[in-house]
A and B are shown apart, each in its own frame.
Chain A
Amino acid sequence: MIKVENLHKNFKDLHVLKGINEEFHKGEVVVIIGPSGSGKSTLLRCLNRLEEPSDGKIYFKSSNIMDKSSNINEHREHMGMVFQHFNLFPHLTVLENITLAPVKVKNTSPEKAKETGMELLETVGLKDKAYVYPAKLSGGQKQRVAIARALAMFPEVMLFDEPTSALDPEMVGEVLEVMKKLAVKGMTMIVVTHEMGFAKEMGDRVLFMDQGNILETGLPGEVFNDPKHSRTRDFLSKVLRA
């Protein structure tokens, strides 16, 4: 579904991605792990060009989204994204957060968008918060709304950028629950996370990144129990001990 070829990203003198080649398949849940600064968030953000790659090709459903002629907004409609800091729109109610893009981009009728919005709020367990402003929600609730907002565009793939890293520990579970539900339904998901439990349980594949390269990729069982690379072993011993 998404194919990355020789992807490079430089921030001035800093070489953050050093020629990534990878393919993400339909229905797959891929979890990207690695130490901070390894480039995993940058890789994720390049996939919908929130970060402009310096070089390389990204194919989404066989069209190169790096092409000058391709309209990135159209591609983004089909790629949902969830951020570490939720980024809900504070001046809109929860329901308005969810209905904005379907109405403005897809020309969905406001009534239909509301109906879909309420259904999505039900799946994330926040139907009673529809008319509340984001400031009144807890972190976990905000992130669940953010997931519903992304789902409202009916994306074909969901990108999660450290979705639980900014949450209080007791709220991590509720967000992971929603993500598990999505995974079970067959959503294609690419997840950057430090939640090794989620990676083990839900990941179809784990990518380990270090210093701008994908060092290791495989089934969660393989990567966690029998890491091939010393850097992977080193990283896992640190995070799994904690």
Chain B
Amino acid sequence: MDFSFLSRYYPMYITGTLNTLALAFFTLLLGVVFGIVLALMRLSKNPILKGFASSYIEFIRGTPLLVQLYIVYYGLPQVTGMRFPSFFAGIIALTVNSSAYIAEIIRAGILSVDAGQMEAVRSLGMSHTLSMRYIIIPQAFKNILPALGNEFIVVIKESAIVSIIGIYDIMYSGNIIRGNTYRPFEPLIIVAIIYFIITFGLSNLMGIAERRMRISD
């Protein structure tokens, strides 16, 4: 094994890591926001909202991320006439994908909150929206934190797929270094280690968050 290539190529890994982190950050942020919206839509009594959210979630979960990425990056420009920068297309595709999964996690979390909670808060004269915001969603988040952490890790790992449309992420940097050095093994091992450090760090952060939320138990 020879890791001497690192002294020359390490800046590529740094660029790749920063891009993966940026990609993951925006995807998770937007994924949670749209996930909440989709979950509330799916739980609403309005048949149109409910139908739309259900179809969206089922369709996105039932199709490969790679296909979704290609549709956003190659397909949409043909229909809309505008071409997204690849980084932007990557965020859109990953958000579209993860929001469907996050929506289902959040929906399960909301349903896990005892119905008596909603009755109690509504009986005090608080509106449905205020009740959701201050009573139901905080408790739902506490219940789903482990599942949400798991989904975050999945998103970070799956984001490697966007290297295929030329986004300069960790995987992409590994590929370039592999091509330049003619040695596939060591550069890919470094790629794997970087992903692992990120996901392991994140799962520890989620663990801390879980412990802090359990303060009321």
A interface residues (Cβ-Cβ under 8 A, vs B): 48, 50, 73-81, 83, 85, 87-93, 100-101, 104-105, 133-135, 146, 149-150, 153
| CB atoms of B216 and A135 under 8 A apart | yes
* Complex partner residue of B138 from A77, A80, A91, A134, CB under 8 angstroms: A91
- B residues 122-140 with Cβ under 8 Å of A? 122-127, 130, 134-135, 138-139
Whether A91 lies near B216 (C-beta < 8 A) is: yes
A105 contacts across to B, CB distance below 8 A: 124-126, 130
- Choose one: B120, B142, B216; the contact of A133 (CB below 8 Å): B216
The answer to whether A73 touches B116, judged by C-beta atoms less than 8 angstroms apart, is: no
A147 to chain B, nearest CB (A): 12
The answer to whether A87 and B124 touch across the interface, beta carbons within 8 angstroms, is no
**Contact across chains for A104 and B138 when beta carbons are under 8 A apart:** no
Find the residue from B125, B139, B215, B217 having the highest chain A CB count within 10 A: B125
Among residues of A, the one whose C-beta sits closest to the C-beta of B125 is A77
* Chain B interfacial residues counted at CB < 8 A: 22
> Does B116 contact A83, Cβ atoms closer than 8 Å?
yes
**In terms of DSSP, what is the predominant structure of the interface of chain B?**
helix
A-B contact pairs, 27 of them (CB 8 A): A50-B122, A50-B123, A73-B125, A75-B125, A76-B125, A81-B120, A87-B117, A89-B117, A89-B121, A89-B135, A90-B139, A90-B217, A91-B139, A91-B213, A93-B216, A100-B121, A100-B124, A101-B124, A101-B125, A104-B126, A104-B130, A104-B134, A133-B216, A133-B217, A135-B216, A146-B120, A153-B124
Bound Cα distance A107, B204 (Å): 39
Task: Mark B175-217 against chain A: 1 for CB-CB distance below 8 A, else 0.
Answer: 0000000000000000000000000000000000000010111
Given A77-B125, A153-B125; A135-B217 close (CB under 8 Å)? yes
Q: Does B114 contact A (CB under 8 A)?
A: yes
Cβ-defined partner of B119 (8 Å) among A73, A80, A83: A83
Chain B residues contacting A149 (CB-CB under 8 Å) are: 124
Question: Which residue from chain A places its CB closest to the CB of B136 in the assembled complex?
Answer: A89
The minimal Cβ–Cβ distance linking A85 to chain B, given in whole angstroms, is 6
User: Are B216 and A77 in contact, CB atoms less than 8 angstroms apart?
Assistant: no
Q: Is the CB of B125 within 8 A of A74?
A: yes
CB-CB under 8 A from B122, the residues of chain A are 50, 73, 76
Query: Which residues of the partner chain A approach B124 to less than 8 Å between Cβ atoms?
Result: 76-77, 80, 100-101, 105, 149-150, 153
**A75 → chain B, closest Cβ, in Å?**
8
CB atoms of B114 and A87 under 8 A apart: yes
A100 in contact with B119 given A135-B216, A149-B124 (CB within 8 Å): no
- Which residues of B lie under 8 Å from residue A83 when comparing CB positions? 116, 119-120, 123
> Among B119, B134, B138, which residue has its beta carbon within 8 angstroms of that of A87?
B119
